[in-house]
Chains A and B, each alone.
Chain A
Amino acid sequence: MLSRRTLLGALAISGLVASPLAAQEVYIPLISKGFQHQFWQAVKAGADQAASEAGVRITFEGPDNETMVDRQIDMLSAALANSPKAIGFAALDSQAAIPILRDAHESGIPIVAFDSGVDSDIPVTTATTDNVAAAALAADKMAEMIGGAGKVAVVAHDQTSRTGIDRRDGFLNRMEEAYPDVEVVTVQYGAGDQLQSTEVAKAILVANPDLKGMFGTNEGSAIGVVNAVRELGTEGLVVIGYDSGKAQKDAIREGLMSGAITQNPVGIGYETVMAAVKAINGETLPPIIDTGFYYYDATNIDDPKIQAVLYD
């Protein structure tokens, strides 16, 4: 039995390790907030592109879901064991990882934050979307389409993460400041899970038959809203989503969704690795690298500029 397990271990290791550690290579691990979602895969694609341009080796890892703060710290520990030249880190919690980041910082490893910052001056820079401004743009577009008055609702992905809070508050605050006749009747949370978000959105639609618009704050939430509209056969609802993915793009083309905010995930990954390389070379970096956001709808979804930042 032991020999069988040994064999499995040996197989796993010989078969799966892509490249043995070369002596002089520059190794930059990226610890992300997630891994399976298409958004993070797009970030990874940008990081891979930058890695091959700069001639460095990267790895890209993230926990199974965005609540697993301690798992992410274990990933950081394992990454540090390989004595990296720099680390890219997208914090699930803005404070919890600070002690281990400080250890890395003290051993001279520069840290580039991406997507979400940390409450500390340890990172040399943060490559991120301005989520508050992006969600405010979603509020402007929604108010414009519903004629500046009526009831709207928000399906958000979570209550505790920085992006969850910023997108919700960016939307709510903009509505409150600029559009007094628009009433946000409720904010509900679907954990970014398509099925949960569908149920949440259906409940909101059933409870508010006079609802004029709905905003889904990430890919899973937005697809949930679209599913709810499809299942209930609701007509005339203005749906604004966030990020992209095939289902969301199809919904925009079909007219079920009015439009969506897209970040530039490929750009986030690319800028993170490039910033890390610059930090290793001792160049100074700005505190924030704004990777940008766009509003897209059926009219501009095929523009090359928009196509470049969307993912399937």
Chain B
Amino acid sequence: MTATTNAPTSPTVLGRIGAAVAHQRVLAFASLIVLLAVFSLASPNFMQMSNMIAILQATSVNGVLAVAATLIIITGGIDLSLGTMMTFTAVIAGVVLTYAGLPLPLGVLAAIGAGAACGFCSGSFIARMKIPPFIATLGMMLILKGMSLIISGTRPIYFNDTPGFSDISRGSLIGEILPFAPIPNGVLILFLVAGAAAYVLQRTALGRYTFALGSNEEAVRLSGVNTIRWKIAIYSLAGAIVGIAGLLIASRLNSAQPALGLGYELEAIAAVVIGGTSLSGGRGSIMGSLIGALIMAVLTNGLRVLSVAQEWQTVVTGAIIILAVYADMLRRRRSN
């Protein structure tokens, strides 16, 4: 099968799915604008450049994780190990840069490589050994949590000896050109990662198989495609992206925190779902997930700036997730 032909669904069906996804994106984007408007009206302190940058900064790690989660969720899978895998890759960067004292590019490669290797393992458990994704990645989540603690010696690893490291996330290339908008590099990296992932999904064979596996894996397999290899490739790519998230969080904290990570996978999955990607697979977009991650960050930041009591912040966030998914269901039922 060549890279350019044999998309497994007919053009009309693809077109309809495309339109539906685009529609949800518009809806999510409009919700984001509404949230920004409401918070701006409610507090004069919300709409400041420094606070907008804080929101983008808070989105960067969850956004990159959400991009990785989107790829996996479109195949109909799930990855519960995203959070601890991120920590694991950060710890690997710490070992390479701080313990071994190697130069910065090697640390970056090691983190991304470690992520890809973790993804390769998860993908193999799922595709080759036929372990359900929920279980396989639950296992990986625990393995990686433990390995992070073991490798780091249960201590945070600081990057004080690698001077350029904190610039990966905290420096600002944009700010050097546009001094009034010192948008941190972490945000730039998020958008680059999202752009690259969107390209892969929409323009490459790997992207088409990602959707096809989620729509009807059996049909893809019967048409002679090596589904095992493609699935492992997708999980490996997602793992590499998680490695980038690991670098971002380690750079932001100037340290690899081995105990951190649990719970981050659920926030990434929430962002994906708010962005209109279906948990049953076959449908979704990177752009939607990006907006989903932004919605979560705006909501959290806005409620904090308004000094809403923390108990209520959690309740409101939960309600928004349910509302967002319900809106998506309503719209889809109507379009059918």
Contact = CB atoms under 8 A, between A and B. Distances in A.
Contacts of B259: 67, 158-160
A67 B145 CA distance: 12
Interface in A60-100: 60-62, 64-65, 67-70, 73-75, 77-83, 93, 95-96, 99
Contacts of A70: 61, 249, 252-253, 260
Contact of B149 (A35, A59, A78, A159): A159
Interface in B128-176: 149, 154-156, 158, 166, 170
Interface in B244-285: 249, 252-255, 257-263
The 3 closest A-B pairs by CB, nearest first: A77-B54, A78-B304, A159-B154
Interface in A149-184: 158-160
Q: How large is the interface on A (under 10, 10 to 19, 20 to 34, 35 or more residues)?
A: 35 or more
Nearest to A189: B154
B171 to A, nearest CB: 11
Contacts of B312: 12, 16
Given A12-B316, A80-B50, A81-B50, A2 B261 contact: no
B327 to A, nearest CB: 5
A128 to B, nearest CB: 20
| B-side interface mostly | helix
A99 B166 CA distance: 10
A96 B263 contact: no
B323 interface: yes
A1 interface: yes
Nearest to A119: B158
B6 interface: no
B270 to A, nearest CB: 14
B1 interface: no
Contact of A69 (B30, B50, B257, B301): B257
B255 A17 contact: no
A6 interface: yes
Interface residues of B, number: 56
Contacts of A206: none
Given A70-B61, A80-B50, A160-B258, A1 B310 contact: no
Contact of B48 (A62, A81, A96): A81
Contacts of B252: 70, 73, 96
B181 to A, nearest CB: 16
A14 to B, nearest CB: 9
A169 to B, nearest CB: 13
B27 interface: yes
B216 interface: no
Contact of A6 (B34, B155, B305): B34
A93 B51 contact: no
A13 interface: yes
Given A78-B51, A93-B156, A1 B330 contact: yes
Interface in B25-52: 27, 30-31, 34-35, 38-39, 42-46, 48, 50-51
